[in-house]
A and B are shown apart, each in its own frame.
Chain A
């Protein structure tokens, strides 16, 4: 027997947890979502590593270098929109603590609109590039470049759709356990995408300007 057993008196030890309340529902749900975000972080890590590997001059095969085509103005606008959206989502969570349904709904709606603004800018920027013949099919470097940019934009699409679903659920269910844990998970998702955007901005756009 392990030594720890000695210290426990079998005559008084408690054997069954009667009326055990079970496990913290919201805590369990949000913990799992953190784990999910970790898998997404690994996907980004692999994509960024691919970008580094494919950023050599030989991967551009004489095509346009990032310096030639990256437009920091768009990226700057996207940054503002995304960070403003994160702020408004944060304010929605403040209202969740207060239990204000209209507050949560209003701020989430604003976050979703800012997400759409981001998407609008991103689509305009990338359409311009496509029109100039700068596409993922051009060379290895551009494949990796667009893979990251588009994968990130897809997350914004998912986030906005999720917000719309939550708006409906808040309206129909109020702040039920399910709604609350989903709002907390969505906050994590949304903030995570903003953090990733910092990396995209630094390693894709800013570094691109220098190369």
Chain B
């Protein structure tokens, strides 16, 4: 039944053998392996030394709390972002070294220090990791944390499924990391080529690693999208009508509709490749009735909507940050909503622009050229809305706002160059060139910028203290500088005709540009150091930076209407929504009681270890398939099915938090908020927003007006 493979294979270990462990004989991987093992030992040792295993298991690994799951998504995203950046560093170093026929070679390479096979893997890993294992988990994590808070829900619609999505994504990420030390990774670019990725041309395990890691994350993300859509549709607090939804929640809805419909197509495109590679079918083979273009079409029918899957939440983040730091309501709310859905809709009709040069008829190319340019219209609407939001607002350039503005700038650069690419005639000249690469890096960097903005913005909400500003600003400016130094030369070289994924550059004249890009990478490395300092200093001085419920003083939506950090049940009593920008409206009317007395029992889901275990079995399944260890895969499938069925028999899945415990938690929240000034802060049952806000501390009080935050006598407690 299975395709006959040449080379050694044993029933017990499949294709796995000692020669397949590159960390035993390739120096770079040897060092990396040593560092990773050392880091792992340090972490395990630290957890054991501090006796935190129980806490880790109960508080995090088995949790179904949407906020903690979101935090873990973001941690996975940050770790993978670091890995993706390390890949970028290696690529840049190689291209800076391997220019011109006289450039020296080291470590087995003729030019530079990486062999073509090795740098091919790095290119593929860099792309896949950044798109699927860094940007996606970061954004999914943010949506996980913020959406239920913004709609006044206690948790996601399906907390158990939520944990499942997380651990599937983690399994995929673990598989990519495993490929670093066991075997190798795909070496033909992150989106794959057929028939090059067919077994006859790529018989190694690299493509299988790529395929299964991709597949796991696709399953995880589409489960997550079901959850987020159902949460937004079904779990809104009373009074939260559609036209009162915060824009970030709207963006999440539209982006998850894209994910829900497009990820299944990706699964099919990869599954058919898998059938070709394992069972010898002929979907994409050259000859035997396969069709090469089928793969490209299926893949990019997912691939292009995926771009908007990433960018719409980024737009949503900007739409939250800019009004908060302009102290104005968002300009053009309804047009923002329509634009989000227009972008989501158009994203389905543009995929062919990824292969304009594959000899489609001119009419076909023209059609996709025009639809691609259409995307510019709703995006332009959004840009103007943000600008008009800032116009005549009280704009404060704090870190979240700086990141949002950087994202706006990068959107302009990336959008304009995107328009240039949209012309099929232009694309014929620079297809597969680095002009395109520089363009889409502008877009993903805008996503990254808004993610950093979101982390700065919502960090106090999740952890209860603000991040410090000094190192954070250095981090910001070095990111700006690095981006300029890396990508301006890349645009120039792209127009000069340089193609992508080169392991050796024949023109010595391009060397200066490559070296400027290397300077950019050095600036990025410094930015990374500042980022770590930023985190370290913030963590060290956290007691000085404790945040109120309304951490920035000018928050507008519901998440600022509960304590920082948010209790496990989010809101002690479910809020009743009266208007758009509910929290801003309440502040203007002095209704800043967070809630009041007479707590009620709260129904919450219980922790469960099942999703973690199922995620581990999915990892084992994918690992077994990659190495063709059939018994491992079979056992994993059986156990996964069994776990799912057994879990459905479990009745003890929920719990009730008694009112006394809610009251204790609420009182404690006040204690951590005002550790020193308890005497002069009036304590209301369940807490208040406090006396001084971040905004008032930063600027003159007459600007605030009587209607700003928490300064009025408190209105009666509960209505």
Flag if B234 contacts A53 (CB, 8 Å).
Answer: no
Flag if A32 contacts B158 (CB, 8 Å).
Answer: yes
Of all chain A residues, the one with the shortest Cβ separation from B281 is: A143
Flag if A39 contacts B226 (CB, 8 Å).
Answer: yes
Flag if B275 contacts A143 (CB, 8 Å).
Answer: yes
Contact with B235, one of A17, A28, A50 (Cβ below 8 angstroms) = A28
Contact with A14, one of B290, B593, B719 (Cβ below 8 angstroms) = B719
Minimum C-beta distance from A136 to chain B (A) = 5
Known: A39-B226, A143-B283, A173-B651. A22 touches B298 (CB 8 A): no
Of all chain A residues, the one with the shortest Cβ separation from B264 is: A42
How far apart sit A61 and B289, CA to CA, in the bound complex (Å)?
Answer: 6
How far apart sit A54 and B272, CA to CA, in the bound complex (Å)?
Answer: 13
Flag if B233 contacts A136 (CB, 8 Å).
Answer: no
Which of B373-381, B438-446, B582-590 is near enough to bind chain A?
B582-590
Known: A14-B576, A18-B718, A140-B290. A2 touches B595 (CB 8 A): no
Residues of A within 8 A of B333 (CB): 2
Known: A10-B589, A15-B586, A17-B574. A140 touches B579 (CB 8 A): no
How far apart sit A144 and B719, CA to CA, in the bound complex (Å)?
Answer: 62
Flag if A1 contacts B584 (CB, 8 Å).
Answer: yes
Flag if B579 contacts A16 (CB, 8 Å).
Answer: no
Contact with B329, one of A1, A35, A138 (Cβ below 8 angstroms) = A1
Minimum C-beta distance from A134 to chain B (A) = 13
Residues of B within 8 A of A8 (CB): 578-579, 585
Of all chain B residues, the one with the shortest Cβ separation from A58 is: B289
How far apart sit A182 and B282, CA to CA, in the bound complex (Å)?
Answer: 38
CB proximity to A under 8 Å, residues B59-102: none
Known: A1-B584, A54-B294. A35 touches B600 (CB 8 A): no
Flag if B579 contacts A61 (CB, 8 Å).
Answer: no
Flag if A23 contacts B265 (CB, 8 Å).
Answer: no
Give the A interface residue count (CB, 8 A): 57
Flag if A139 contacts B580 (CB, 8 Å).
Answer: no
Q: Is B535 an interface residue (CB 8 A)?
A: no
Quick one: CB contact mask for B251-275 with A, threshold 8 Å, 1 for yes? 0000000001111110111001001
Flag if B230 contacts A32 (CB, 8 Å).
Answer: yes
Residues of B within 8 A of A18 (CB): 573, 598, 600, 718
Flag if B264 contacts A43 (CB, 8 Å).
Answer: yes
How far apart sit A53 and B262, CA to CA, in the bound complex (Å)?
Answer: 19
Residues of A within 8 A of B591 (CB): 10, 13, 15
Q: Is A141 an interface residue (CB 8 A)?
A: yes
Residues of B within 8 A of A140 (CB): 282-283, 285, 288-291
Flag if A5 contacts B600 (CB, 8 Å).
Answer: no
Flag if A39 contacts B222 (CB, 8 Å).
Answer: yes
Of all chain A residues, the one with the shortest Cβ separation from B154 is: A22
Residues of B within 8 A of A36 (CB): 226
Select the residue from B225, B272, B283 with max chain A CB neighbours within 10 A.
Answer: B283
Q: Is B645 an interface residue (CB 8 A)?
A: yes
Flag if A32 contacts B719 (CB, 8 Å).
Answer: no
Q: Is B511 an interface residue (CB 8 A)?
A: no
How far apart sit A197 and B428, CA to CA, in the bound complex (Å)?
Answer: 43
CB proximity to A under 8 Å, residues B194-226: 222, 225-226
Q: Is A46 an interface residue (CB 8 A)?
A: yes
Q: Is B163 an interface residue (CB 8 A)?
A: no
How far apart sit A143 and B291, CA to CA, in the bound complex (Å)?
Answer: 11
Flag if B265 contacts A42 (CB, 8 Å).
Answer: yes
Minimum C-beta distance from A12 to chain B (A) = 7
Residues of B within 8 A of A59 (CB): 289-291
Of all chain B residues, the one with the shortest Cβ separation from A173 is: B651
CB proximity to B under 8 Å, residues A112-151: 136-141, 143-144, 147
Minimum C-beta distance from A15 to chain B (A) = 6
Minimum C-beta distance from A14 to chain B (A) = 5
How far apart sit A73 and B293, CA to CA, in the bound complex (Å)?
Answer: 35
Residues of A within 8 A of B233 (CB): 31
Q: Is B395 an interface residue (CB 8 A)?
A: no
In the complex, 12 of the A-B residue pairs with CB atoms within 8 angstroms, ordered by the A residue number, are A10-B590, A14-B576, A14-B578, A16-B596, A17-B239, A18-B718, A24-B234, A28-B235, A35-B225, A50-B283, A50-B298, A143-B272
